[in-house]
């Protein structure tokens, strides 16, 4: 305004005054900005510190919580394993007791069957032994053989008490004696039955035959 009015002295003075004020204001503004920046920095640093401390605290809490959770998990695992072990032991004992009872029951049944088998075996053995006496009664007496055949030997060893093997001697006349050493079809009781039939038939047929061939032919018929 002073410059437009031609008042150059005042215009110049105000111009320099304005520059000083602007420079001063600029310095003050810079100081204020610096103070604000410092304040903001301090506040930000405090915020960061607080946030860091809060983060550290939260991390510590998380670690403690994790430790607590791990302990709880371990305790749960230990409890679960212990319960599983107890259940396994109970089941194992149950199975063992049941198996033992079944074994005792089976042993009783086996002993019962064994006693029955022993009794039946004794009955059968007694019957076969009695059959042996009958079979031996059909065989020629040793004294009779000694008279007819002074020089002889006899080996008779039944395999199963009674035998399908038999020997037979029959005098036909003063000069002739039939002698048979036979092995019947079958073993044990069936063979013994065949031998008894054969001895009986030979005794009946001996008087009708004049030769061993004829006697065997008659026996076969």
Question: Can you give the pLDDT at residue 139?
Answer: 93
pTM of full prediction above 0.85: no
CA atoms of 146 and 177, how far apart (whole Å): 13
Question: Can you give the pLDDT at residue 137?
Answer: 92
SS (H, E, C) the chain: CCCCCCCHHHHHHHHHHHHHHHHHHHHHHHHHHHHHHHHHHHHHHHHHHHHHHHHHHHHHHHHHHHHHHHHHHHHHHHHHHHHHHHHHHHHHHHHHHHHHHHHHHHHHHHHHHHHHHHHHHHHHHHHHHHHHHHHHHHCCCHHHHHHHCCCCCCCCCCCECECCEEEEEEECCCCCEEEEEEECCCCHHHHHHHHHHHHHHHHHHHHHCCCHHHHHHHHHC
pLDDT at 51 over 90: no
Cβ(178)–Cβ(212) under 8 Å? Answer: yes
Question: Can you give the pLDDT at residue 113?
Answer: 93
pLDDT at 117 over 90: yes
CA atoms of 47 and 42, how far apart (whole Å): 8
Q: Residue 43: which region, alpha, beta or left (left: phi > 0; alpha: psi -120 to 50)?
A: alpha
Angle, helix 8-138 to helix 188-205, in steps of 10 degrees:
20
Q: What is the pLDDT of residues 58-94, one digit of tens each?
A: 889 989 999 999 999 999 999 999 999 999 999 999 9
Mean local confidence (pLDDT), 184-211: 89
Q: With the CA atoms of 49, 50, 52 and 57 taken in that order, what torsion angle do they form, in degrees rounded to the nearest 10?
A: 140
Provide the pLDDT confidence category of residue 48 given band limits of 50, 70 and 90.
Answer: confident
Cβ(195)–Cβ(182) under 8 Å? Answer: yes
Provide the pLDDT confidence category of residue 31 given band limits of 50, 70 and 90.
Answer: confident
Question: Can you give the pLDDT at residue 145?
Answer: 93
Torsion angles phi and psi, residue 178, rounded to 5: -85, 135
């Amino acid at each position: 305004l002073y410059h437009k009015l031609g008042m150059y002295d005042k215009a110049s003075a105000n111009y320099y005054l304005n520059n000083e004020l602007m420079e001063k204001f600029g310095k003050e503004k810079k100081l204020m900005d610096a103070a604000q920046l410092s304040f903001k920095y301090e506040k930000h640093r405090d915020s960061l510190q607080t946030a860091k401390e809060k983060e550290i605290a939260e991390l510590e809490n998380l670690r403690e919580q994790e430790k607590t959770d791990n302990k709880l998990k371990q305790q749960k695992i230990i409890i679960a394993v212990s319960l599983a072990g107890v259940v396994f032991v109970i089941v194992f004992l149950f199975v063992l007791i049941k198996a033992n009872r079944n074994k005792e029951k089976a042993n009783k049944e086996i002993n019962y069957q064994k006693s029955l088998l022993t009794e039946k075996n004794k009955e059968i053995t007694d019957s076969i032994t009695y059959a042996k006496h009958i079979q031996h009664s059909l065989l020629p007496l040793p004294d009779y053989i000694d008279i007819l055949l002074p020089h002889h030997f006899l080996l008779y060893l039944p395999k199963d008490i009674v035998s399908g093997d038999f020997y037979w001697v029959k005098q036909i006349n003063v000069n002739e004696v039939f002698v048979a050493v036979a092995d019947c079809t079958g073993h044990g009781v069936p063979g013994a039955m065949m031998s008894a039939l054969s001895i009986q038939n030979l005794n009946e047929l001996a008087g009708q035959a004049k030769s061993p061939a004829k006697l065997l032919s008659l026996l076969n018929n």
